[in-house]
Chains A and B, each alone.
Chain A
Amino acid sequence: MRAGTLSRICVVLAACAALAASSCSRHEAGEPQSRSRTLIVLAAASLADAFREAGSGFEAVNPGVHVDFAFAGSNQLRSQLESGGPGDVFASADRRQMEAAAASGAVDSGSTTPLCGNRLVIIVPRQDRAGVHELADLARRGVKIVVADRAVPAGNYTRRMLSRASELSRFGPAFVSAFDANTVSREQNVASVVAKVALNEADAGLAYSSDAAGGNGSKLTVVPLPVDLEQHAEYLVAVASGARDVALARKFIAFLLSDDGQGALANRGFERAVHP
């Protein structure tokens, strides 16, 4: 009885293996003319929508090429690359993470290029019950603010904005301590900040202007920061040192910098890259 069960399980497993093998071989046989090439792109979570669009555009003009994406916090992706994880292209949401990746040899530092820009903004839920119209409103008692943790690029920009504000006479240290007292959560990525504001659980959050152009955009209102406190996020892209197909990786980066690629980024609220 027990042997019977075991052999039946073996038959099922063997059948699964055969099925998997046949689907693999069919996959290979399906693209006979140009050998199929796969590009692995590791990109900051905020780039997800724009990169998916750019990826399909790239696949359309490069038959036989398949682009796979991994989206996460730039710091997580960098440590993946550094520990030998697979990846051909790395796009980070700030210079700090890209420089760290270059320093550890995870990316080819000569290939590093500015990709696009983004801007730190205040996001407010559509049913703005706390009445947040400007940065100063965030110091009012009882306003619930969600920020990104300082380890995340968005949180780093938030801290920088606050330390600048503490030096300005119309804000000052009192504003910063009121802001901190109103902070109800330090999220581990900017997407969680956006989600909690979009769900109307927080009265305001600090995120990127591109987030307001994303899937949750219709649930959010954007309040810009005062001009003297603006924070520009600089996104960079580079070829990973472990890239298996450096030529293809370079081609993808060139595509991102082309009008098609920059158009996909602009559609999602990103600003054009500033080339030095």
Chain B
Amino acid sequence: MSTNGAKSQRHAIPALLALPLLLLLLVPVVMLVVRTTPRAVAQEFAHRETLQAIGLSLATSTMALAMSIALGAPLAYWLARTRSPLAKVVEALVDLPTVLPPAVAGVALLLTFGRSGPVGALLSKLGIELVFTPEAVVLAQMFVASPYFVRAARAGFASVAPAQREAAINLGASRWAEFRSVLAPLSGPSLAAGAAMCWSRAIGEFGATIIFAGNLPGRTQTMPLAVYVGFENDLDRAIVLSAVLICISLVVLLGVRLTGWRFPGADS
């Protein structure tokens, strides 16, 4: 009893100290869900703009994730393997978008891919204009979200000891077989966790999108934009869409934890 009591007391103090932050993080989220009535959800889901926003968000964030994996995996692999002193600089640069205010990212993208920008002017000559298109939404999402995947994938690749891989090669495995049977399974959980973070961040992207891609229902108005617009015009829509976003993100984040994928840096 006495040792048990002392033990629970020892836990009670940190738990008590943790309470204010937990409440700060939880109560606003709970308030949103509580304010959502099934009737409001049904009503909002009958609106075309609501469904368009959800559909567009799912499509663009999935596209942003696919592109982040396709382009991010090679970068992460290089970062994990290289001994180049440049790697530290590249790593810092890759992390930069995650700490930039999203509005800054939006302006930067506009100045680059806008039709007066260097890349945009070139594309414009080919008849491609990105600003105000769904493709611009995907680019904005990639800009802010892909670093999460690269960071996780780099840690995942780095956690596979070279010895393990050499062993496979020495046993006669081809590069592809080595990748499939050693590298992929060992770094898989990190890749999956990184993909989940990347996707969640992409679907929540707001600031860069509204500056770079604008706001047009059915074309560039994603869920976060519809929430912002709804906050001023139609609070019910803002609340319902916020609740939908929260549910989606919660499912992804919980899924990652319950299936035991680990976030690099979080536990090692």
Contacts and interface: CB of A to CB of B under 8 A. Distances in A.
Contact of B115 (A73, A151, A200): A200
Contacts of A188: 210, 215, 228-229, 232
Contacts of B114: 199-201
A151 to B, nearest CB: 5
Contacts of B232: 73, 75-76, 149, 151, 188
Contacts of B210: 188
B229 A184 contact: no
Contact of B233 (A76, A151, A187, A202): A151
Contact of B214 (A76, A151, A196): A196
Interface residues of A, number: 20
A90 B115 CA distance: 39
B193 interface: no
A186 B216 contact: yes
Give the dominant DSSP class at B's interface.
Answer: loop
B116 A199 contact: yes
**Interface residues on chain B, size class:** 10 to 19
Interface string B208-247: 0011001110011000000011001100000000000000
Interface string A136-166: 0000000010100111000000000000000
Given A151-B232, A201-B110, A201-B131, A187 B116 contact: no
Closest A-B pairs by Cβ, 9 of them: A185-B214, A184-B132, A151-B233, A200-B116, A151-B232, A201-B131, A201-B114, A186-B215, A185-B215
Interface of B: 110, 114-116, 129, 131-132, 210-211, 214-216, 219-220, 228-229, 232-233
12 contacts: A75-B232, A144-B129, A149-B229, A183-B216, A184-B219, A185-B214, A185-B220, A188-B228, A196-B214, A199-B110, A199-B114, A202-B132
